[in-house]
Structure formats: structure tokens, C-alpha cells
Structure 1
Amino acid sequence: MSIHKLQVEAIQQGTVIDHIPAGNGLKIINRLQLLNSDVRLTVGLNLPSGEMGCKDLIKVDQWRFTQDEAAELALFAPNATINVINDYKVVDKFRMSQPEELNGLFDCPNHNCITHNEPVDTKFYVRNSGADMKLRCHYCERSFSSALFG
């Protein structure tokens, strides 16, 4: 008889981001600026996974994603699973999906882009390019690897 033990503490209410590619958990935390808020955060890095070999996991107590945050997460973990927790039980579960565009979330890496000098929100079109996602700026029309935004 084998005894299984949770490697990461359960939460009563909140959100669990599971199946994050190993190494991307810290990028997601940094991007969402969770470390600067008052939420209770549990992070598992390089946890064993039957599907992925190793994975990262983020549990955020008393917090749920906005659509913008979920779209931003998809850049770093396009196949992550989002679990909504209520009373220690999963009440909703869904997979992330790649957004078609992102508005106002990132600065354009092209310093000559009009977004650096005019009061306009950035706008990027998201496209797959093999294993990498590319973001194409609506204004300067240059494409960038999503890795630049992490």
C-alpha cells in the first residue's frame, strides 16, 4: 500500500494554476506582480508530473483571474490548467487558450515605436511560430518573441 501526500498545501478559496511548464512559474508571478500584493501565495517549482515530467504550480488564496491576467498567463503557459477553488474543492476548471491580441499589457520593445511617444495603448497580435509565440505590434508592425516579455 502506497501513501500519497500532497506536496503543496490546499487552499480554501482562490485559484490554482497547474501544469505550468517548469521554469515559467516565477515568470508568471513576476508578470502578475503577485509578490507585491497581500495575497497568500504558494508556489511549487519543478514538481513531478506524469504528463510533463516536471511542472510548476501556483496557488493564490482568495484571488481569481481577470480576463487580462488569464490572457497574459497564456503567453507563458498556454496549456496551463486553471482551477477555481471554493471550500477546498475545485468548482470550475479550464485550460488556458492563446489570445488573438493583447492590449495595453506590455511596452513595445521597439524604442522607435509610436507607443513610446504618443498617448496610445500598445496592441499586439499573438501568433504561434513553432514552439515560440510571436507578438506583432499593431503600430510598428515588428514581431517579437514572447520570451522578451517575461
Structure 2
Amino acid sequence: MSEKLQVEAIQQGTVIDHIPAGQGIRILKRLHLESAGKRITVGMNLPSQNHGLKDIIKVEGRMFTEDEAHQLALFAPSATINVIDDYEVVNKFGMQLPDTLVGVFPCPNSNCISLNEPVNSYFYISVKGEADSGDAQVKMRCKYCEKSFNKEVVVGN
């Protein structure tokens, strides 16, 4: 007999679904969700028809900004964001990598001017290979020192 578990619905807030398995905690920390004082539900290693396993995060009473969605796309490019109002999905959209990312991650080049001057870090983002395949590589090029880095070097593993 198959038993289906349900997670309590939220009245208003955001649900991040289809997060690659194991990335949910990383997203919580990156977006500082655990310290926001909002009720959060996290599901990890849940079955997914498209991805095998997935994580899911529900944040009650908080809508995500565009900058946060851009950060999320670096960790979970296949994720979807569902905006909830009065227990209904009022907007649903997929993640999309931004062309640029400003002031989010420091440049890994210790000689970069952005580390010592009062300027925000600034990266140009590009994808090498097919975005939908597991072979795609996200590259981030610093506007100031012009060095290119694999995404993992800039954002960590």
C-alpha cells in the first residue's frame, strides 16, 4: 500500500520546487532564510518524476526578489518558484540565469580591484554547452580583472 504524505499548505509566501536533491540546505543558507523569522518547511530527497529526487522549500509570508531568484538559478537552474496567495498559486516561473550578477559574490582573484575598492563585484555570466544537459558549465567573468572562473570557484560547492 502506497502512503502519500502531505505538507501543510501555506496561505501566502513562496514555494521553491524542483530543487536538485541536496541543494535545499545550501539555498537556505545562501539566502539566509533560516534567520528570517518566517515559518519554513523543507523537504529533502523527495521523489520527482522528472529528476529522480528533489528538494522543496516553502517559505510562509515572504516573496522572493529578482536578485534572490538569480542567485537561486546558480544553485538550482531547474527549480520553479510558485508565488502563493490565499492558498492558491498566483504566479509560477522557472529559473533563468542572469546575464550579470552584481554585488553578490566576491571575486576569487586576490588581486582584483573589487576586493580593495568601494565597488560592488560584477560578473558576466555565460553557459558553455547545453543548459538542459548535465554537461553545461556556467562561467563567471569579472568585469574588473577580466578573469573567468567556473561557477563553483565563485559560489563554492
For 2:64 and 2:36, how far apart are their aligned partners in 1? Answer: 14
Q: What residue number does 1:5 align with?
A: 5
Paired residue for 2:145, among 127, 140, 148?
140
Gaps of 5+ in 2: 130-135
Identity %: 59
Partner AA of 2:5 in structure 1: K
Gaps of 5+ in 1: none
SS of structure 2 residue aligned to 1:83: strand
Matches within 5 A, 1:1-150: 4-6=4-6, 8-130=7-129, 131-148=136-153, 149-150=155-156
Q: What TM-score comes out, normalization by structure 2 length? A: 0.89
For 1:2 and 1:75, how far apart are their aligned partners in 2? Answer: 35
Listed one character per residue, the Cα deviations across residues 7-31 of structure 1 (whole Å, up to 9, x for unaligned) are x322111000000111111111111
Q: Offset at 1:4?
A: 3.7
For 1:28 and 1:105, how far apart are their aligned partners in 2? Answer: 14
Q: Offset at 1:132?
A: 2.6
For 1:69 and 1:20, how far apart are their aligned partners in 2? Answer: 14
Listed one character per residue, the Cα deviations across residues 116-138 of structure 1 (whole Å, up to 9, x for unaligned) are 11111110011113423111111
Q: Offset at 1:53?
A: 0.2
Partner AA of 1:5 in structure 2: L
Listed one character per residue, the Cα deviations across residues 35-63 of structure 1 (whole Å, up to 9, x for unaligned) are 12211111111110001000010100000
Listed one character per residue, the Cα deviations across residues 40-89 of structure 1 (whole Å, up to 9, x for unaligned) are 11111111000100001010000001111111111011121110011111
Query: Which moved further from structure 2: 125-134 or 49-58?
Result: 125-134
For 2:39 and 2:137, how far apart are their aligned partners in 1? Answer: 32
Q: What residue number does 2:133 align with?
A: none
Partner AA of 2:118 in structure 1: P
- Count the aligned residue pairs: 149
Q: What TM-score comes out, normalization by structure 1 length? A: 0.93
After superposition, the CA RMSD in angstroms is 1.5
